[in-house]
Amino acid sequence: MYKILYNKTMKVGVYCNRAAKKFLLIENDLLSLLRQNGIEPQIYDSVEQIGVIDILIVLGGDGTILKVAIEAGKRGIKLLGINAGNLGFLTEFEGEQVSEAVALLVRGDFDTERRSVLQVNAEGKTFFALNDAVFQRSYNPSADDNVVAVSVSIDGNEVDKFVGDGVIVSTPTGSTAYSLSAGGSILTPNIEAFILTPVCAHSLHNRPIVFADSSLMRIELCEEGPSLSLYCDGRFECVLKDGASARIAKADFDVEFIKRHDSNFFNKLLFKLNKWSK
């Protein structure tokens, strides 16, 4: 955690997910409270609109934050999330806590938390993910079977060959997302590690593997069969075919979230997962 002070020269933007369920109920309150406190925000409806700002208030859910996180991280913009969606694991405030969020900003006394980012090089391109990079079998209706075999190495050392639906490479942030559903461990945000989680592996010994985020991972499609689709934070990026490989490492930038001083990861974990599983 890093403590910083807000000052009046900081430029604030608001990124809105107008499709979020609770959006209309809290948008006017948020903008009104900001203006009452001398903050005239820039309002954005798309990532491409985001201008030169210091803090971006994200009004939506986890999906909305994932849309803007990489661009914000690259440009050093701090994120403050207000949940107007469903789970809101990455948001710091719930929709009914708008006044608390604005008060925290106006007081200028808050912490920030840096979250690591994955960099994936595949098919001659570079992709980034705050949550996870998912290498998933591509369905082929003409194939006799649709399991895929991938070989994984870390720092040049063979880890294993995974046969199944694919693998997930997750950051600590993404450890509570798809990786968790696939049986992966939960990592606290401050751990300098990533996690490799097989998806429906055809083996009794394949287990999630936690490894240092300073390592270099290589994932290679082993043999002829289904191609491998790459998704970063749920976005389709490219297809790997016939022996193609991908390189995964920690990006040279991170994503910085604004937090309350008493923000507690384990309290949020219990609340959100219990709420989501009802």
pTM above 0.95, yes or no: no
Instruction: Give 10's DSSP letter.
Output: -
Residue type, 237: E
Give the C-alpha separation, 273 to 278, whole Å.
Answer: 9
Q: What is the spatial distance between Cα 3 and Cα 181, in angstroms, rounded to a whole number?
A: 33
Show which residues are catalytic: 62
What does the pLDDT look like over 224-258, one tens digit per residue? 667 899 999 999 999 998 889 999 999 999 999 99
Q: Tell me the CATH architecture of domain 118-250.
A: Sandwich (2.60)
């789970």: which residue's tokens?
A: 87
Q: Contact 163/170 with Cβ under 8 angstroms? A: no
pLDDT digits (tens, 9 = 90+) for 136-184: 998 766 666 678 999 999 999 999 999 999 999 999 999 999 999 999 9
Half-sphere exposure of 176 (CA within 13 A, CB side): 20
Fold identical between 2-116+254-276 and 118-250? no
Break the chain into its structural domains and give their ranges.
Answer: 2-116+254-276, 118-250
How far is the C-alpha of 142 from the C-alpha of 256, rounded, in Å?
A: 46
Query: CATH number for the 2-116+254-276 domain, one of 3.40.50.2300, 3.20.20.100, 3.40.50.10330, 3.40.50.620?
Result: 3.40.50.10330
* Alpha-carbon separation of residue 236 from 121, 129, 134, 166, 229 (angstroms): 14, 12, 9, 15, 7
Q: What is the pLDDT of residues 65-104, one digit of tens each?
A: 999 999 999 999 999 999 987 778 899 998 889 999 999 9
